Structure 1
Amino acid sequence: MDQQLIVFIEVVERKNFSRAAEALHMSQPAVSQYISNLEKELEVKLLERTNKYVQVNKAGKIVYQYAKSIVKDYEHMKILVSDIKNDPSGELKIGASYTIGEYLLPKILARLQQEYPRINPTVSIGNTEDIGTKLIYRDIDIALIEGNYSHPQIVTEQFATDDMYIIASAREPLLIETISSDYLAGHTWIIREEGSGTREMLEEFFKKNHITPARLISLGSTQTIKEGVESGLGISLLSDLTFKKELELNRIKKLPVDGTPIRRHFSIIKNQQEFYSKALQVFESLVQNIG
């Protein structure tokens, strides 16, 4: 691995030669020399320096992007070579959209820990769009999402189905057997943020049923949405994975709406490549057999 690239990445990310030197356990003059040598080799200036800060320029941004990719490829190569002679082990960076990450992934991780204790998982949870972007930039190794995410670099495989219902507070008066679109349109809807797979499904439901809600309130977590529904703030569309406890305690109820439950798929997404680590492969196998 080219030490110049490693040093350059540290300087760019820490925006300071002294902090980069400290992180790398090097002297500041040594860090400066590595950067100077890299700039001479590429015949272009990469950083704008002052006494107070270090700012990457346009050429530096290009080098930084490729340097990060080179370092990640090198680390991945070491893992694959180690896999040839060792059992599944090492760090596995997993991404998950909120519903899966909060309500399904813990069960999978428990099995992973039991069966492959030498694998060290780290988890990033976000909406589907954020998680897909992390995968493209290789900040994570594999992801589980509930929405649709398409990119030429990404391989997608469905692993489970999910039923979604429109829910309301258990205190919500209900005097009709089947709820009309007009009834739904007249209510406040509590919805997820843009980029969420749950938000995507709700918008499709609105469009299909020609519903324009009277009011929308956007909240960034499923737990907050459930609390809002329970308090009578509004109604929402959520996976039945997320409100089983509230349903049993009679805090939330499903509304009898034609076309529900809405069924969607949970998917595994990963970067398209020739080799995958053993840790990734065994995790994927556990996910596919989650039932």
Structure 2
Amino acid sequence: MEHHLKVFLEVVEKKSFSRAAEVLYMSQPAVSQYIAALEKEFGVRLLERSNKFVQVNRAGKIVYQYAKDILRNYDQMKLLVSDIKNSPSGQLKIGASYTIGEYLLPKILAKLQIEFPKIIPAVSIGNTEEIGKKLIHHEIDIGLIEGHFTHPQILSEKFSIDKMYIIKGGRQSLEREVILSREELENETWIIREQGSGTREVLEVFFRKNHIHPKRVIILGSTQTIKEGVESGLGISMLSELTLDKELQLHTIHKLEVEGTPIQRDFFIIKNHQEFHPKALQTFETLVKSNRLE
């Protein structure tokens, strides 16, 4: 039954018997036989066929949704049983928000490779909201995020802290190392991250708390792009100290003295609640917690 479901999923996703056969290294008649056997098992047609397309019907949609969960649980079962007798191994799908993924995670992965070479990481980078959604949909096994993501399915645990600073380019007009007023901050061009970003969340809280309403805002989709914009004099921003080592050493970016900063925020590990977690995931989680920033 396991293989029948795999064949069915492939036909639905490829919308073609022939394309599914290519991916599965099977003949097209063999694929058709597997689908026919599955339909006989359920006593109902699952796919609507024509010369031009294969389309899943209402019954097929139900089987498709449950088949994905069945196969995922079956794979997890095999992995957990294997874990009992073996050292941590196998693929581990890790999701990380941008600041963590680009500036902290590489160091952790380097240590993981040295200490546990049988664990093969596959990394997805996105903003906090994107990583949370990937975890809910089982596209990743564990997430590392810099903002808050709440969902009944998700277990969240703080693993480190970060400090956020308002920054400017080295050649900008704001050269005074004094506490800037609310009016001065409002008159600056702010370069900020997109909605759903943990960095954006912290900045919006800062704006609300200090009653700051920037007159001009530019939205950019990555930390690196924001740093380049700040360096070029496009505007000011708020970023993690973790992202600024090189620029601060080269004096291309400076921290601004602003009341209420630096702002401390938490980094979180998120994982699916009430699920069995394989040894590889537990090993990685322990390694992450040992690399605290405090």
State the match for 1:6 in structure 2: 6
User: Does the CA-based 8 Å contact 2:136-2:154 persist in structure 1?
Assistant: yes
State the match for 2:234 in structure 1: 233
State the match for 1:102 in structure 2: 102
Change in CA separation of 1:252 and 1:63 when aligned onto 2, cut-off 3 Å: same
**Percent identity of equivalent pairs:** 68
* Counterpart AA for 2:52: K
User: Does the CA-based 8 Å contact 2:231-2:253 persist in structure 1?
Assistant: yes
1:207 aligns with 2:201: no
State the match for 2:189 in structure 1: 188
State the match for 1:84 in structure 2: 84
User: Does the CA-based 8 Å contact 2:96-2:125 persist in structure 1?
Assistant: yes
Q: How many angstroms does 1:281 deviate by?
A: 0.7
Cα displacement string for residues 67-92 of structure 1 (whole angstroms, at most 9, x for unaligned residues):
11111111111110001111111111
Equivalent residue of 1:210, what SS? coil
* Counterpart AA for 1:235: I
State the match for 2:35 in structure 1: 35
Taking the aligned partners of 2:248 and 2:153, their CA distance within structure 1 comes to 40
Q: Tell me the TM-score normalized by structure 2.
A: 0.94
* Counterpart AA for 1:75: D
Q: How many angstroms does 1:61 deviate by?
A: 3.1
Q: Which runs of 4+ in 1 moved over 4 A?
A: none
User: Does the CA-based 8 Å contact 2:188-2:214 persist in structure 1?
Assistant: yes
Cα displacement string for residues 196-222 of structure 1 (whole angstroms, at most 9, x for unaligned residues):
111111111111111221122111111
State the match for 1:143 in structure 2: 143
Change in CA separation of 1:39 and 1:186 when aligned onto 2, cut-off 3 Å: farther
Change in CA separation of 1:201 and 1:50 when aligned onto 2, cut-off 3 Å: farther
Q: Unaligned stretches of 5+ in structure 2?
A: none
Taking the aligned partners of 1:89 and 1:24, their CA distance within structure 2 comes to 25
- Report the more deviating stretch, 87-96 or 60-69: 60-69
Equivalent residue of 2:168, what SS? strand
Change in CA separation of 1:182 and 1:48 when aligned onto 2, cut-off 3 Å: farther
Q: How many angstroms does 1:58 deviate by?
A: 4.2
Taking the aligned partners of 1:209 and 1:44, their CA distance within structure 2 comes to 63
Taking the aligned partners of 1:57 and 1:223, their CA distance within structure 2 comes to 46
User: Does the CA-based 8 Å contact 2:177-2:256 persist in structure 1?
Assistant: no
Change in CA separation of 1:70 and 1:173 when aligned onto 2, cut-off 3 Å: same
1:23 aligns with 2:26: no
Change in CA separation of 1:24 and 1:186 when aligned onto 2, cut-off 3 Å: same
Equivalent residue of 1:268, what SS? strand
Cα displacement string for residues 222-259 of structure 1 (whole angstroms, at most 9, x for unaligned residues):
10110001001111111010111101101011111111
Taking the aligned partners of 1:58 and 1:226, their CA distance within structure 2 comes to 50
Taking the aligned partners of 2:51 and 2:153, their CA distance within structure 1 comes to 41
Aligned CA-pair RMSD = 1.5
Q: Unaligned stretches of 5+ in structure 1?
A: none
Q: How many angstroms does 1:177 deviate by?
A: 1.3
Change in CA separation of 1:58 and 1:214 when aligned onto 2, cut-off 3 Å: farther
State the match for 1:153 in structure 2: 153
* Counterpart AA for 1:14: K
Q: Tell me the TM-score normalized by structure 1.
A: 0.95
State the match for 2:50 in structure 1: 50
Taking the aligned partners of 1:43 and 1:251, their CA distance within structure 2 comes to 69
Taking the aligned partners of 2:189 and 2:65, their CA distance within structure 1 comes to 44
State the match for 2:261 in structure 1: 260
Q: How many angstroms does 1:186 deviate by?
A: 1.3
Taking the aligned partners of 2:231 and 2:151, their CA distance within structure 1 comes to 38
User: Does the CA-based 8 Å contact 2:162-2:265 persist in structure 1?
Assistant: yes
Taking the aligned partners of 2:136 and 2:73, their CA distance within structure 1 comes to 13
Change in CA separation of 1:181 and 1:155 when aligned onto 2, cut-off 3 Å: same
Taking the aligned partners of 2:51 and 2:217, their CA distance within structure 1 comes to 49
